[in-house]
Amino acid sequence: MNLGPDREEWATAKKYAAATWRSAWGKWSDTDRRTAAEDLLSPFKPDEATMIKFLDEVAAAIEHI
- Cβ–Cβ < 8 Å for 58, 37: yes
pLDDT at 37: 98
Helix axes 48-63, 8-25, angle to 10 degrees: 60
- The pTM for the full model equals 0.92
Residue 20 contacts residue 61 (beta carbons within 8 Å): no
pLDDT tens digits for range 11-63: 999 999 999 999 999 999 999 999 999 999 999 999 999 999 999 999 999 99
